[in-house]
Amino acid sequence: MNYEKDIKILKERIDRAQIDKVRAETRLEQLEKERDALLAEMQEYGIKPEDLDKEIARLDKEVGDLLQKAAELLPEDE
């Protein structure tokens, strides 16, 4: 058996795993900052995270209603 070769392969795998770990930690940090920014923005609008689905549904309905009203106010094409 060639232990030196096996050790070299294991070292390369460890090095790649360490790089992957750093990348994952960096991405996690970015996502946490993004989450915190979104939560702060929601708080500015007075929206609680647990109410987000209801707020989206409300806004969707409001947009639909406004589009319908705008369509009613415009003359029809003949």
Identify the domain containing residue 51 by its residue range: 47-78
- Look-up of token digits 């096996």: 6
Q: Are residues 2 and 38 in the same domain?
A: yes
Q: Are residues 60 and 77 in the same domain?
A: yes
**Are residues 42 and 52 in contact, defined by beta-carbon separation less than 8 angstroms?**
yes
The pLDDT profile of the chain, 78 residues, written as one tens digit per residue, is 789 999 999 999 999 999 999 999 999 999 999 999 999 999 999 999 999 999 999 999 999 999 999 999 998 876
Q: Are residues 20 and 33 in the same domain?
A: yes
Which residues, 6+ apart, have CB-to-CB distance to 58 below 8 Å? none
How many domains is the chain partitioned into structurally? 2
Q: Are residues 12 and 36 in the same domain?
A: yes
pTM of the model: 0.67
Q: Are residues 5 and 40 in the same domain?
A: yes
pLDDT score, position 78:
65
Q: Are residues 40 and 9 in the same domain?
A: yes
Residue 76's SS3 state is coil
**Are residues 37 and 27 in contact, defined by beta-carbon separation less than 8 angstroms?**
no
